[in-house]
C-alpha cells in the first residue's frame, strides 16, 4: 500500500469516526469466508457499518480525530480488527452476541460510546444491555401513559358501576316494602 493510499484510508476512517455515536473494534479472526459474509449481512440489516482496518491506520485516524482522545483503545489493537460504527449504542454488541451463539468469535476488543471506553470482551454483556435512545423514549412514554390510562379506565368504569348501583338499589327498595307489608 502506497503512502497516498494510506492517507486516503486514514481520511475515510476519520470520516466514519467523526460523527459516530457508537464505535466498536472487534476481532473476526477465525471466521471463514462464509461466516464473514453472513456477519456483514447481519451488520447491514442492523444498520452497523463494518470496515476491516489495519491497526496502525486505525490508530493514526483516531489520533487525528478531533474532540476525543482514543488512546485508551490503542493497546487493544492487535491481530485482525474490524471497525463497527452504529447510531444505536447497543447494536454492534447485540450483533456480536447473537452471532456468537454459533461460535466463540467475533470477540470485542474495545468500544467507545456515550463518552465511555469499554476495553475487553468481558464488557460485551454490559454493552448489549445498554438501552438505545428509542428504547428509553418508549419506556418514558409508557411510564407517562400508565397513570393517565388508569384515570381514563377509572372514569370509563365509573358510570357502569353507578348504573349497577342504581339497578341494585331499586331491587332492594322493593324488597324492603314487601318485608314490611308482611
CATH number of the domain to which 107 belongs:
3.30.70.1730
Q: How far apart are CA 131 and CA 133, in angstroms?
A: 7
The pLDDT value recorded for residue 25 is 93
Starting at the edge strand that comes first in sequence, how are the strands of the sheet with 81-86 ordered?
48-53, 81-86, 22-27, 107-113, 116-119
Q: Are both 89 and 111 inside the same structural domain?
A: yes
Number of compact structural domains in the chain:
2
Q: Are both 31 and 57 inside the same structural domain?
A: yes
Q: Are both 124 and 159 inside the same structural domain?
A: no
Q: Are both 147 and 82 inside the same structural domain?
A: no
Q: Which of 130, 145, 164 is the last residue of a domain?
A: 130
The pLDDT value recorded for residue 180 is 47
Selection from 48, 87, 83, 50 nearest residue 65 by Cα: 83
Q: What percent of the chain has pLDDT over 90?
A: 24
Q: Are both 162 and 76 inside the same structural domain?
A: no
State how beta strands 48-53 and 22-27 pair: unpaired
Q: Are both 97 and 136 inside the same structural domain?
A: no
Q: Are both 22 and 99 inside the same structural domain?
A: yes
78 lies in which domain range? 3-130
Mean of pLDDT values over 26-40: 88
Q: Are both 75 and 151 inside the same structural domain?
A: no
Amino acid at each position: 500500500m502506497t503512502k497516498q493510499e494510506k492517507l486516503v484510508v486514514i481520511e475515510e476512517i476519520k470520516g466514519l469516526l467523526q460523527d459516530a455515536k457508537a464505535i466498536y473494534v472487534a476481532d473476526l479472526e477465525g471466521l471463514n469466508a462464509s461466516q464473514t459474509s453472513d456477519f456483514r449481512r447481519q451488520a447491514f440489516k442492523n444498520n452497523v457499518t463494518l470496515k476491516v482496518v489495519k491497526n496502525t491506520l486505525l490508530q493514526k485516524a483516531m489520533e487525528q480525530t478531533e474532540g476525543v482522545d482514543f488512546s485508551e483503545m490503542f493497546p487493544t489493537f492487535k491481530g485482525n480488527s474490524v471497525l463497527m460504527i452504529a447510531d444505536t449504542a447497543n447494536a454492534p454488541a447485540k450483533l456480536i452476541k447473537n452471532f456468537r451463539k454459533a461460535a466463540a468469535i467475533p470477540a470485542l476488543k474495545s468500544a467507545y460510546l456515550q463518552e465511555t471506553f469499554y476495553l475487553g470482551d468481558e464488557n460485551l454483556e454490559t454493552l448489549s444491555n445498554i438501552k438505545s435512545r428509542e428504547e428509553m423514549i418508549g419506556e418514558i412514554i409508557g411510564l407517562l401513559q400508565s397513570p393517565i390510562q388508569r384515570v381514563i379506565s377509572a372514569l370509563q368504569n365509573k358510570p357502569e358501576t353507578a348504573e349497577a348501583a342504581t339497578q341494585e338499589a331499586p331491587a332492594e327498595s322493593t324488597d324492603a316494602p314487601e318485608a314490611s307489608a308482611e
